[in-house]
Chain A
Amino acid sequence: MRGNKLTRATQEPAWVRYTLLTVGLGFLFFFLGLPLVAVFVEALAQGLPIYLEALKESETRSAIWLTIVIALAVLPFNILFGVAAAWAIAKFEFKGKSLLITLIDLPFAVSPVVAGLIFILMFGSQGYFGEWLAAKDVKIIFAVPGMILATLFITFPFIARELIPLMQSQGKDEEEAAISLGASGWQMFWRVTLPNIKWGLLYGVILSNARAMGEFGAVSVVSGHIRGETNTLPLHVEILYNEYNAIGAFAAASVLALLALVTLVAKTIVEWRMKAETDMLNAELPGEKTS
């Protein structure tokens, strides 16, 4: 009985808890669950064969393919930039550090449409480099390179943002120990830094990947919407919808939703591994938790 009283003293009354829970879950259901279900219901409205037929269309397939190509193309750049920036910021003191941090956040602050327009201003035929590019017959805008650039701009903060706090909390003791024991810079990176950040890095990769695949605004501006050539999935969904092809639009949207669900599962697994690892470390080093 006494235990019960204690719990009661530290907890809100039941009705408060249940109301909060209902509000929270209700919100999730109506604004996340229901639309997600609706996408699949609409896509399958005329049966599975018609759904599959819609996905088999060559333009839809090429949109899926292009979405994956762009996501893969930006990945190495994002990893390279993200790790380099996070390393510089977390492990070194230098002039202009806060400026760099602000710049990394810039894509979060700038509207994607504006980001796309920036590239038009730079590389469009009336832009700064437009004539020069046209003379060399290099196509950036309204072609895949421009779409990759726009996606890169939108997604580059994710990995750095994920790694900076992680690397800052880890400090540089282990790296210093490695160097003092005679490791080369690369050895230190591969054997000490990378293993320490691998889950955080993977988490950042997943986040930036999800954003790369779902990006609409910036890519829409620079795409040119050439069917089968410069249409990514989100753009394709919009176009199909505008053409009164609801089945096709929702079928394409369902593929995007599936990609998002896969990302979500991957993200959950990584989060779980990250937590398991920190718990293990904390358990092993009880005295050294404070940094």
Chain B
Amino acid sequence: MTHFRKSIATVLLSLVAGAALADATLLNASYDVARDVYKDYNPMFQKYWKANAGESVELKQSHGGSTKQVRAVADGLEADVVTMNQANDIQFLAEKALVAKDWAKKFPNNASPYTSAMVFIVRKGNPKALKDWSDLAAPGIQVILPHPKNTGNGRNTYLSAWAWALKQPGGSDAKAQEFVGKLLRNAPLFAAGGRDATTTFMQRGLGDVLVTFESEAEMIAKEFGKGNFEVVYPSLTMQTEFPVAVVEKVVDKKGTRKQATAYLEYLWSKEGQENAAQNYLRPRDAELLKKYGAFFPPVKTFTVDEVFGGANKAFATHFKDGGTFDQIYVAK
């Protein structure tokens, strides 16, 4: 019976996927908008691996909401590598013993091959003259952001505003909480996700400012036209990381550890870094960052580790049930 089912499954799979002829197959489970990055990166790695290891690799991509993706991996999606946009999500897999406990040390730069920054998208000509976080908390301004409790976008916005308030003269956690509360009260709604927030702002025309990733601004330009909005860099904002990890349990089972590790390592190569830059993600390579300087104006950033003592701690303090977000929101 098992045999029968197995053969049905195999027949169906091969029907759909076509026979895999590669020496190894890797599945990369990734976040929503990473497709362009890996669409260009995968052929580059295939070429590199063929030339250096003499093997052909088949590369498959799975994209979805970052948290949904790691849940799927925990439930048995056989991804060899995960490339996410939130450290929490990879930490979740570490707790389930699917990735190494010290995953952040397995690769350089906190295992994040490229970064982005949280920026403001404002209407053309910046009619409300929004320059910094303080302007977003001013009365009468409408801020569009996804839900801070369960989206990376929303959390980054929340923490950016918090860090900015903390670094102001006389700043304290209590003052920061008050400031973030003011800013959140300017949100007419919380969008369900990054894309949803963009639609709310660009298509429905709601709000004065949208807070999102710098890299996302270029995607918005692609769909809605460059002339329809402006990007504003606040005086201090979060450097967002895009951590990657090998899924130990899967590569051990499939025997793909070597290929999976090389696949991620190659993200730090010149080619990999340049590809990130071309997709509007800030490369770690200083030379390339300079070369693509037109995309990446200098901006003062902080990392979650510096200000909040790590993504896990930030999450526990601010977004767990009863955290500062809940306190602010109940107070509202």
Interface assignment of B75: CB less than 8 Å from any CB of chain A: yes
Q: Is the CB of A225 within 8 A of B9?
A: no
How far, in Å, is B302 (CB) from chain A's closest CB? 28
Indicate which residue in B2, B75, B77, B222 contacts A138 across the interface (CB closer than 8 Å).
B2
Those of A176-222 within 8 Å (CB) of chain B: none
Closest residue of chain B to A59 (Cβ to Cβ) is: B61
Q: Is the CB of B13 within 8 A of A143?
A: yes
Mask, A55-82, CB within 8 Å of B = 1, is: 0000000100110010001000000000
Report chain B residues within 8 Å CB of A241.
195
Query: How far is it, in angstroms, between the C-alpha of A242 and the C-alpha of B78 when the chains are bound?
Result: 23
Indicate which residue in A124, A130, A229 contacts B16 across the interface (CB closer than 8 Å).
A229
Q: Is the CB of A244 within 8 A of B222?
A: yes
Those of A110-127 within 8 Å (CB) of chain B: 120, 123-127
Query: How far is it, in angstroms, between the C-alpha of A229 and the C-alpha of B9 when the chains are bound?
Result: 13
Interface assignment of B323: CB less than 8 Å from any CB of chain A: no
Interface assignment of A243: CB less than 8 Å from any CB of chain B: yes
Indicate which residue in B5, B16, B36, B78 contacts A243 across the interface (CB closer than 8 Å).
B36
Those of A220-264 within 8 Å (CB) of chain B: 224-230, 239, 241-244, 246
Interface assignment of A164: CB less than 8 Å from any CB of chain B: no
Interface assignment of A51: CB less than 8 Å from any CB of chain B: no
Query: How far is it, in angstroms, between the C-alpha of A239 and the C-alpha of B62 when the chains are bound?
Result: 10
Report chain B residues within 8 Å CB of A148.
12
Q: Is the CB of A126 within 8 A of B62?
A: no
Q: Is the CB of A126 within 8 A of B74?
A: yes
Q: Is the CB of A145 within 8 A of B8?
A: yes
Query: How far is it, in angstroms, between the C-alpha of A126 and the C-alpha of B72 when the chains are bound?
Result: 11
Q: Is the CB of B72 within 8 A of A69?
A: no
Query: How far is it, in angstroms, between the C-alpha of A155 and the C-alpha of B234 when the chains are bound?
Result: 52
Query: How far is it, in angstroms, between the C-alpha of A224 and the C-alpha of B242 when the chains are bound?
Result: 20
Indicate which residue in B15, B61, B76, B77 contacts A134 across the interface (CB closer than 8 Å).
B76
Report chain A residues within 8 Å CB of B61.
226-227
Query: Which secondary structure dominates chain B's binding surface?
Result: helix
Q: Is the CB of B223 within 8 A of A141?
A: no
Interface assignment of B220: CB less than 8 Å from any CB of chain A: yes
Query: How far is it, in angstroms, between the C-alpha of A144 and the C-alpha of B74 when the chains are bound?
Result: 18
How far, in Å, is B132 (CB) from chain A's closest CB? 27
Closest residue of chain A to B61 (Cβ to Cβ) is: A227
Interface assignment of A161: CB less than 8 Å from any CB of chain B: no
Report chain A residues within 8 Å CB of B15.
69
Interface assignment of A153: CB less than 8 Å from any CB of chain B: no
Report chain B residues within 8 Å CB of A228.
17, 60
Residues of A near any B CB (own CB < 8 A)? 62, 65-66, 69, 73, 120, 123-127, 130, 134, 136, 138-145, 148, 224-230, 239, 241-244, 246
Residues of B near any A CB (own CB < 8 A)? 2, 5-6, 8-9, 12-13, 15-17, 27, 32-33, 35-36, 60-64, 69, 72, 74-78, 193, 195, 219-220, 222-223
10 extra interchain contacts, Cβ-Cβ under 8 A, other than A138-B2, A229-B16? Answer: A125-B75, A140-B9, A141-B76, A225-B64, A228-B60, A242-B32, A242-B63, A243-B32, A243-B219, A244-B219
